[in-house]
């Protein structure tokens, strides 16, 4: 972990490179370090995925409005201060990447971080 899922209105594709946003956020996550200089997240466990919403209604339904909703799942055990640091870094990186789009259309950018233990966790990798 972390797994960061991004849902966004498809009209944003004309104003921002969402693939590059994924890369930017992945880089942000894998380079974060805690107070002792230890990486916060494992490199190979980091995932950033984006899903455009082809059909949407934002606020009053005006099609010029846009949203980016990011939900990050992390394993529990990190301090509230560290989770806030992570959230601030991810939100700042997303805001910086999307700044040109923010100047062109009404856009809401949201990040939620969930730190909940899994009910089951199985793994397999090659």
**Residue for token digits 């380079």?**
31
Q: What are the pLDDT digits (tens) for 60-119?
A: 988 889 999 999 999 999 999 999 999 999 999 999 999 999 999 999 999 999 998 888
Confidence of residue 20 (pLDDT cuts 50, 70, 90): very high
Kindly give the pairing relationship between strand 66-74 and strand 3-9.
antiparallel
What's the confidence (pLDDT) of residue 63? 82
pTM of the model: 0.92
According to the model, what pLDDT value does residue 116 have? 86
| Mean pLDDT computed over every residue of the chain | 95
Phi-psi region of 59 (alpha: psi -120 to 50; beta: other; left: phi over 0): left
End-to-end, the C-alpha distance of the chain in Å comes to 17
Q: What is the pLDDT of residue 121?
A: 84
Q: What is the mean pLDDT of residues 34-38?
A: 94
Percentage of the chain with pLDDT > 90? 86
Q: How far is CA 89 from CA 72, 97, 121, 124, in A?
A: 13, 12, 27, 30
Q: Taking 90 as the threshold, does the pLDDT of residue 28 lie above it?
A: yes
The H or E element spanning position 81 is helix 80-102
């Amino acid at each position: 972990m972390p797994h960061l899922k991004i849902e966004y209105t498809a009209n944003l594709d004309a104003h921002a490179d969402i693939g590059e946003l994924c890369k930017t956020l992945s880089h942000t996550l894998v380079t974060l370090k805690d107070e002792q200089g230890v990486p916060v997240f494992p490199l190979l466990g980091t995932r950033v995925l984006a899903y455009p919403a082809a059909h949407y209604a934002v606020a009053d339904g005006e099609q010029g409005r846009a949203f980016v909703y990011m939900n990050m799942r992390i394993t529990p055990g990190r301090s509230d201060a560290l989770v806030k640091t992570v959230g601030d870094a991810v939100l700042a990186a997303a805001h910086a990447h999307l700044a040109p789009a923010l100047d062109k259309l009404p856009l809401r950018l949201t990040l939620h971080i969930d730190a909940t233990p899994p009910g089951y966790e199985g793994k397999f990798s090659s």
